[in-house]
């Protein structure tokens, strides 16, 4: 019952704690002590190490840990044609802490550029992953993230006086991105997404209304954009999504179970797999998994937390997988931490050893649950 294609029985979301050498190099670059090329060489070296480490602990995939990024989403979105990074008066408010004051806005017609830097990031990852005999996994933010976080205010009314053409261009941009990554050799791509969780949170829905946006009907709009983006995906390419409730220095943003969006998300979007957070009561129960269609789709159950270092008990994780299997077949389930370990370069509050112990635990439990 082990899987030979992604998502694998033991998988991971994407980001990993940034090594000290990368953090030091970034600080030196800011001071003008080294060049951007010097930083890239250090990143290359650390990515090579981390890919081989993922292979060594038994994972069948490897990411680059998002080592070249500052943010899980802004680095990608800001390099889309028609988008720019800017610095608002406030950061993103998490529970008890606020992020740096960065955001992305739409200032021109959207498109995916042929020279998007993350294509080269992926090509390097694939070269190293091939050497380590694992599948290279690339993560990018979902199209929904570009719309929901800033809302109407972050989209130029001069360029898009009406939102329908914006939604159309967003779908076309991501369809082009999927093809570009495929042409670069990517066979395992993931759309990271906080928005489906926000649509389950009364507080986040209220915030959207307060900033002048109407969240009613958004899940159908997002499903349409995602399905358009995936419509020409080749059969040998796997595209998954990860639904996140916020992950910054071990804090969070939203609460609420998946029930309000589960049918649209699991049955109405054409993803091959869903990484769903289930490491806290804020995620609700497993009942929404009943909407997973019978067949090839996989839910990767995130019952190991990436937020804190204490290692879960194997028996507890197995028991939670059994609970999930009451609502979706065990053969359509897999296991991973609930999120990345460093959605921003600051990283969560745990050590690298604790991070690897958690990923190793997922591998061990997967072997015992689904066989070698």
Instruction: Give the per-residue pLDDT at 246.
Output: 57
Q: Which position has the higher pLDDT, 251 or 234?
A: 234
Q: Tell which residue, 321, 262, 270, has the closest CA to residue 288.
A: 262
CA dist., res. 358 & res. 341, Å (int): 10
**Can you give the pLDDT at residue 308?**
86
Residue 66: closest CA among 273, 341, 336, 335: 341
149 or 107: whose pLDDT is higher?
107
Whole-Å CA distances, 232 to 22, 115, 226, 241, 295: 37, 21, 11, 17, 20
Q: How confident is residue 150, by pLDDT bands cut at 50, 70 and 90?
A: confident
Q: Which residue has the higher pLDDT, 150 or 25?
A: 25
CA–CA separation, 286 vs 258, rounded Å? 9
In a domain, 27, yes or no: yes
Confidence of residue 280 (pLDDT cuts 50, 70, 90): low
Domain contains 15: no
User: Can you list the alpha helix ranges (DSSP code H) found in the chain?
Assistant: 20-30, 36-56, 74-77, 117-132, 143-148, 163-183, 195-198, 202-210, 218-230, 262, 268, 314-324, 352-370
Residues in Cβ contact with 299 at an 8 Å cutoff, skipping those fewer than 6 apart: 266, 273, 274, 276, 289, 292, 324, 328, 332, 333, 334
The 10s digit of each residue's pLDDT in 104-127 is 999 999 999 999 999 999 999 999
Question: Is residue 6, in this structure, part of any structural domain at all?
Answer: no
* 11 touches 26 (CB < 8 A): no
Structural domain including 36 reads: 20-370
Average pLDDT, the chain: 90
| pLDDT over 50 at 306, yes or no | yes
Query: What are 159-212's pLDDT values in tens digits?
Result: 999 999 999 999 999 999 999 999 999 999 999 998 898 888 888 888 888 878
Can you spell out the DSSP letters for 11-66? ---S--PPPHHHHHHHHHHHTTSS-HHHHHHHHHHHHHHHHHHHHHTT-SEE--TT
pLDDT at 100 (0 to 100) = 56
CA distance 228 to 222: 10
| 24 within domain boundaries | yes
Tokens (6 digits) for 293: 């269609």
151: pLDDT strictly greater than 80: yes
Banded pLDDT at 256 (limits 50, 70, 90):
low
Is residue 14 included in any domain, yes or no?
no
Q: What is the DSSP letter of 248?
A: B
d(CA 68, CA 122): 11
Q: Taking 90 as the threshold, does the pLDDT of residue 307 lie above it?
A: no
Both tokens of residue 232? 């020409």
pLDDT digits (tens, 9 = 90+) for 192-201: 998 898 888 8
State mean pLDDT over 354-372.
95
For strands 333-337 and 298-304, give the pairing.
parallel
Q: How many domains does the chain have?
A: 1
Q: Facing residues of 10 across strands?
A: 335
| Residues 225, 105, 306: CA angle, nearest 5 degrees | 70
93 contacts 79 by C-beta, under 8 angstroms: no
Q: How confident is the model at residue 284 (pLDDT cuts 50, 70, 90)?
A: confident
* pLDDT grade for 250, boundaries at 50, 70 and 90: very low
Contacts of 117 (CB under 8 A, 6+ apart): 79
Cα gap 186→350, rounded to integer Å: 30
For position 266, which CATH number holds?
3.20.20.210
Question: 252: pLDDT confidence band, cut at 50, 70 and 90?
Answer: very low
Q: For residues 350-366, give the mean pLDDT.
A: 96
| 300 close to 336: Cβ distance less than 8 angstroms | yes
Look up residue 144 and give its two tokens. Answer: 């929904």
Are 95 and 251 within 8 A, CB to CB? yes
End-to-end CA distance of the chain: 8
pLDDT bucket at 231, cuts 50 / 70 / 90: very high
Percent of the chain topping pLDDT 70 = 92
Query: What is this structure's pTM?
Result: 0.93
How far is the C-alpha of 262 from the C-alpha of 254, rounded, in Å? 16
Angle at 248 between CA 246 and CA 254, to 5 degrees: 25
- Whether 12 is covered by a domain: the verdict is no
For residue 189, tell me if it sits in a domain: yes
Answer whether residue 9 is part of any domain. no
How is residue 112 annotated by DSSP?
-
């Amino acid at each position: 019952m082990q899987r030979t294609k992604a998502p694998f029985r033991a998988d991971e979301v994407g980001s990993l704690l940034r090594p000290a050498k990368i953090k030091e190099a970034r600080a030196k670059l800011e001071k003008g002590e080294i060049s951007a090329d010097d930083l890239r060489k250090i990143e290359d070296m650390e990515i090579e190490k981390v890919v081989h480490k993922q292979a060594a602990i038994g994972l069948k995939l490897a990411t680059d840990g998002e080592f070249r990024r500052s943010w899980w989403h802004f680095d990608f979105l800001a390099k889309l044609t028609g988008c720019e990074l800017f610095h608002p008066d406030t950061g993103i408010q998490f529970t008890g802490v606020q992020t740096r004051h960065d955001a992305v806005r739409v200032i021109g017609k959207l498109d995916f550029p042929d020279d998007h830097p993350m294509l080269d990031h992926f090509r390097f990852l694939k070269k190293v992953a091939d050497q380590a005999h694992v599948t290279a996994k690339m993560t990018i933010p979902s199209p929904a993230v570009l719309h929901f976080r800033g809302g109407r205010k972050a989209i130029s009314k001069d360029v898009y006086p009406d939102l329908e053409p914006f939604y159309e261009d967003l779908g076309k941009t991501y369809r082009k991105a999927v093809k570009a990554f495929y042409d670069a050799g990517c066979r395992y791509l993931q759309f990271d997404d906080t928005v489906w969780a926000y649509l389950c949170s009364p507080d986040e829905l209220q915030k959207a209304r307060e900033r002048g946006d109407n969240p009613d009907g958004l899940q159908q709009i997002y499903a349409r954009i995602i399905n358009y983006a995936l419509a020409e995906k080749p059969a040998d390419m796997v595209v998954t999504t990860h639904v996140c409730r916020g992950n910054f220095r071990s804090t969070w943003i939203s609460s609420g179970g998946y029930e309000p969006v589960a049918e649209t998300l699991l049955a109405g979007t054409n993803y091959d797999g869903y990484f769903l957070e289930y490491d806290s009561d804020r995620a609700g129960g497993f009942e929404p998994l009943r909407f997973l269609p019978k067949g090839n789709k996989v839910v990767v159950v995130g019952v190991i937390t990436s937020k804190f270092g204490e290692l879960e008990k194997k028996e507890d994780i197995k028991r939670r997988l059994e609970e999930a299997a009451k609502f979706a077949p065990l053969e359509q389930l897999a296991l991973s931490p609930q999120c990345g370990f460093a959605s921003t370069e600051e990283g969560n509050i745990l050590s690298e050893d604790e991070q690897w112990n958690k990923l190793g635990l997922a591998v061990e439990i997967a072997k015992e649950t689904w066989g070698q």
